[in-house]
Every structure is written in structure tokens, then in C-alpha cells.
């Protein structure tokens, strides 16, 4: 398959053709997250709190697997654009081997540390027992996630976005169907409660991986996963980790942030912890849709940068910024038009809904301007510039928001945490654009 269309096709149609399949995939993924939580919420509010406590570690596992796969994506697209086929093959093969190692290590480490981690945030035995029931099963599929994500990013790197979309959706749809069956015991399935949610998630991931393998057999990738190329080579490994480590940290930082904010909010009430968990379920629908656009343009940025097409790189960035801002406008409108309905998906408690509506109103004020930092961060990753991308993520998830949340919560109470989100997005937008311009 020729990838030259990446530097020949008109910019807007090219960005849309690469991004729309990913936007659809991310939208379905967001729907899965909401549906998954919706069914768990039917068990009890304790079950939702348990999911909220597991989320940071679950997000960290995904961050490591996805982040390193982004490094594989960037290296493969760059070498294909530069016409270096052997280096592209080595990037894919060594990336696969290393992410497999990551998956195995994550399974062992995360299951081992969860009991201690949960005790830091809750003394409610019912909640912690539910959280362990879910996490001990969900984390068993970490290796499957790691391998599946390598295939996802390789298909994207060579421009096969529709295949990537189809395979991702196979897993998402299977997950959505299996959730009620396995949680509540419908048909021949036993009622497994929160454990059923974990198994449904894992089976969905297995189905996605199986779909990728079928497509690899029927229509082989332009890059070859050869065993002789899997032996790590310093120059390839350094390139993979230079972007992969930065992307991993960028994706893992929200886990650190949520854990810190949970600690701040727990001082007021566990209801605020639940509301934060619900918000992160809802915001995935907005930010993962925007991330679908970013996934689509990463290989475009890398390929054109490798081919020396700097003007096209600039135009791709501008087009992406406009599209991402459009997604954020929709998210802001929904947050103000139907906040009660959105929060009400996860709880029927009147007080929880009231607190959640207030949180959504305040946080959503920063949605539109966040398009700047989201686009700059993704574009830099596509260009293979992992370190400046990491700077942006550190600003959004650590440097600005954590001190702001701590100080504002002391001044105006728990709502200060919500205002910290808004403040951070405005401050980070200007700094992100400065960083992007300096490094491109």
C-alpha cells in the first residue's frame, strides 16, 4: 500500500478522512464508558464509588500501553515518510516486543499494589471489596490491551483508519452487549455484579485483538513484524521511548491528578469523590472525540515531517485546531443545556446530582480554550517531539491545577476544585501555543 496520499491529498479532506473513523471509534468508546458505568450504577452508589477509585490505576495501565504505542506510531509514520522501510519494520517489531513486556509487568504490579492503594482513599470495606473484585479481574487483561494497542497504532500509522475503527468498535460493541448480561445474569449468564463488568471489558478487548489479527492475515500491513527485528536496537528503542515515555506520562498524569483531587475532595465528602468520577466518565465523551481527531493527524504530521513537507504540517495543525475547538463547543453547550440528565445517568441521589450540575457548569467554561493545548500536545507527539509535548501535559495536570485546586478549595470550599479546572485550561492554552511555536 502506498502512503503517498498523506502528502498529496488536499488538507481538509485528508484530515477528515483520517480523523472521522477515529472520532467514530472514540465516540463509541465514550458511549461504552457511559453505558458501563450506567449499568454498574444500577447495582449501587457504592459500586460507582468503587469504579471511581479504580479508575486512576486503570487509566495508568491504559496510559502506559497507549503511550508507548503512540511512540511506535510516530516512529513508523516518520520512517515511512522518509522512505526508510527497514527502520519502519524494526520500529514496529521492537515496539511490539517491548509493549508485550510492559503488559506482563503491569498485570503483576497493579494487582499487587491495589489493596494498599485503595486504603489510601476509603475506609469503607464494602467499597474497597467491590473495587478489588473489579480490578483483580480487569487487570488480568493488561497484556491483551498492550498487544491490541500496538496493532491499532500500526494500522493508523499506515493510514488504514477504517480498519482500526472497525476493530475497535468490535470490542466496544461486544462490551456494551455483555455488560448487562454478565452484571445482572441475563440468559445463561450467571449474575456476577461488578465482576461481570470487568469480564465484559476484558472480553471486548480480546475480540478487538482477534479482529486485528484477522485483518493482518487477510491484508498484511506494509510494515512487517519479523522475529529477527524484535531484538532491541539502541537507536530504535531510544526513538520509541522518546515519544512513548512522554506520551505515557501525558496520559498517566490524569491518574495522578484524580488521585490528588480525590484526596482533597474526600476531606469534604465522599459524594464529591463520586461526582469527580462521574465527571471523568462524561468528559471522555468530549475529550476522546477530540482525541479521535488527534489520532487521525498524528501519522499525517509524522509522515509529512519525515518527507520534508513543512507547509503541509502547518496547515494540518491549523485545520485540526479548528475541528477540535468545534468538538469543545458542542461539549460546552451540552453541559449547560442538559446537565441534570447527564449526571442523572449515574445516580438518582438529588444531592449528588445538584453537586454534579454545579461541577459541570464550572468546569465546562474551560472546554473551548482547552482545544489549544490538546491540539499542540498531539501535534508535537506526531512530530516526534515528545519532551515539549510532556511540558504541556505537566502544565495541565500538575504544575497549574494541583496548586490551584488546593488553594481554591481552602478559600471557597469543594467548588474551588472545579474552578481550578477552568483556570488551568485558560492559563495552559497560552503557554501551550508558545511551546508549540518554539519547537516547530
pLDDT, residue 1, reads 46
Q: Spell out the residues 6+ positions from residue 123 whose beta carbon is closer than 8 angstroms to its own.
A: none
The band of 29, judged by pLDDT with boundaries at 50, 70 and 90, is low
DSSP string over 325-389: HHHHHHHHHHHHHSHHHHHHTT---HHHHHHHHHHHHHHGGGTTTHHHHHHHHHHHHHTT-HHHH
3-state secondary structure of 23: helix
User: Would you list the DSSP string of 205-250?
Assistant: HHHHHHHHHHHHHHS--SS---GGG-S--HHHHHHHHHHHHHHHHH
In sign, the C-alpha dihedral spanning 323, 326, 332, 334 is negative
d(CA 6, CA 291): 19
Whether 385 contacts 305, CB under 8 Å: no
Q: 181-196, pLDDT tens digit by residue?
A: 999 998 888 999 999 9
CA distance linking residue 76 with residue 303, whole number of Å: 9
Q: Is the pLDDT of residue 53 over 50?
A: yes
Judge whether residue 32 has pLDDT over 70.
no
Task: Enumerate residues 6+ apart whose C-beta is below 8 A from 283.
Answer: 331, 363
Cα distance between residue 357 and residue 354, in whole Å: 5
* Average pLDDT over all residues of the chain: 88
pLDDT the model gives residue 144:
94
pLDDT band at 31 (very low <50, low <70, confident <90, very high): low
Reply yes or no on whether the pLDDT at 30 is more than 80.
no
pLDDT score, position 368? 95
- Note the Cα 98 to chain centre separation in Å: 20
- Distance of alpha carbon 216 from alpha carbon 227, whole angstroms: 16
What confidence score (pLDDT) does residue 13 get? 87
Of the listed ranges 114-123, 323-332, 389-398, the least confidently predicted one is 114-123
Terminal C-alpha separation, the chain = 29
Count the Cβ atoms, other than its own, within 10 Å of residue 112: 11
Tens of pLDDT, residues 70-100: 889 888 888 888 788 899 899 999 999 999 9
Residue 381, pLDDT score: 86
The C-alpha atoms of residue 266 and residue 364 are separated, in whole angstroms, by 22
Other C-beta atoms lying within 10 Å of the C-beta of residue 235? 9
The residue that leads in pLDDT, 3 or 42, is: 42
Report, as an integer, the average pLDDT of 323-338: 92
Please state, in angstroms and rounded to a whole number, the distance separating the CA atoms of residues 135 and 141: 10
Using alpha carbons, list the distances in angstroms from residue 353 to 154, 263, 265, 281, 338. Answer: 42, 21, 16, 14, 12
Residue 160 confidence (pLDDT) above 70: yes
In the predicted structure, residue 422 carries a pLDDT above the cut 70? yes
The answer to whether 204 touches 178, Cβ cutoff 8 Å, is yes
Decide if 37 contacts 52 (C-beta within 8 A): no
- pLDDT category at 343 given cuts 50, 70, 90 is confident
Q: Sorting pLDDT into bands at 50, 70 and 90, what band is 133?
A: very high
Average of per-residue pLDDT across 382-408: 91
Q: Cβ atoms within 10 A of the Cβ of 120, count?
A: 11
Amino acid at each position: 500500500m502506498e502512503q503517498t496520499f498523506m502528502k498529496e491529498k488536499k488538507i481538509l479532506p485528508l484530515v477528515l478522512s483520517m480523523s472521522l473513523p477515529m472520532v467514530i471509534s472514540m465516540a463509541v468508546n465514550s458511549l461504552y464508558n457511559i453505558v458501563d458505568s450506567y449499568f454498574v450504577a444500577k447495582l449501587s452508589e457504592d459500586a460507582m464509588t468503587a469504579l471511581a477509585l479504580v479508575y486512576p490505576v486503570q487509566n495508568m495501565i491504559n496510559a502506559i500501553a497507549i503511550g508507548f504505542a503512540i511512540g511506535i506510531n510516530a516512529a513508523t509514520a516518520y520512517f515511512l515518510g522518509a522512505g526508510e522501510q527497514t527502520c519502519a519494520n524494526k520500529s514496529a517489531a521492537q515496539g511490539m516486543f517491548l509493549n508485550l513486556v510492559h503488559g506482563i509487568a503491569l498485570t503483576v504490579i497493579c494487582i499487587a499494589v491495589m489493596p494498599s492503594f485503595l486504603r489510601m482513599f476509603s475506609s469503607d470495606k464494602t467499597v474497597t471489596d467491590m473495587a478489588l473484585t473489579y480490578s483483580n479481574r480487569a487487570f488480568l487483561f493488561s497484556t491483551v490491551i498492550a498487544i491490541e494497542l500496538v496493532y491499532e497504532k500500526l494500522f493508523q500509522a499506515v493510514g488504514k483508519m477504517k480498519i482500526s475503527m472497525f476493530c475497535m468498535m468490535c470490542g466496544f460493541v461486544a462490551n456494551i452487549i455483555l455488560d448487562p448480561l454478565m452484571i445482572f445474569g441475563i440468559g445463561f449468564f450467571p449474575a456476577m455484579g461488578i465482576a461481570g463488568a470487568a469480564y465484559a471489558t476484558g472480553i471486548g478487548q480480546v475480540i478487538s485483538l482477534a479482529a486485528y489479527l484477522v485483518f493482518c492475515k487477510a491484508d498484511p500491513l506494509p510494515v512487517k513484524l519479523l522475529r529477527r527485528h524484535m531484538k532491541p536496537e539502541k537507536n530504535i528503542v531510544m526513538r520509541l521511548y522518546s515519544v512513548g515515555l512522554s506520551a505515557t506520562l501525558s496520559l498517566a498524569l490524569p491518574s495522578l491528578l484524580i488521585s490528588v483531587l480525590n484526596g482533597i475532595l474526600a476531606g469534604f465528602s465522599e459524594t464529591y469523590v463520586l461526582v469527580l468520577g462521574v465527571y471523568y466518565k462524561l468528559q471522555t465523551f468530549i475529550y476522546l472525540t477530540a482525541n479521535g481527531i488527534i489520532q487521525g493527524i498524528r501519522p499525517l504530521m509524522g509522515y509529512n515531517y519525515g518527507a520534508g513537507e513543512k507547509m503541509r504540517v502547518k496547515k494540518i495543525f491549523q485545520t485540526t485546531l479548528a475541528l477540535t475547538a468545534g468538538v469543545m463547543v458542542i461539549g460546552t453547550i451540552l453541559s449547560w443545556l442538559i446537565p441534570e440528565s447527564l449526571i442523572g445517568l449515574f445516580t438518582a441521589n438529588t444531592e449528588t446530582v445538584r453537586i454534579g450540575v454545579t461541577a459541570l457548569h464550572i468546569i465546562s467554561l474551560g472546554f473551548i480554550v482547552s482545544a489549544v493545548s490538546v491540539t499542540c500536545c498531539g501535534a508535537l507527539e506526531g512530530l516526534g517531539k515528545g519532551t515539549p509535548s510532556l511540558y504541556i501535559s505537566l502544565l495541565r495536570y500538575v504544575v497549574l491545577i494541583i496548586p490551584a485546586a488546593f488553594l481554591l478549595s481552602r478559600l471557597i470550599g469543594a467548588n474551588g476544585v472545579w474552578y481550578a479546572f477552568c483556570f488551568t485550561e485558560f492559563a495552559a492554552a497560552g503557554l501551550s501555543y508558545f511551546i508549540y511555536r518554539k519547537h516547530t
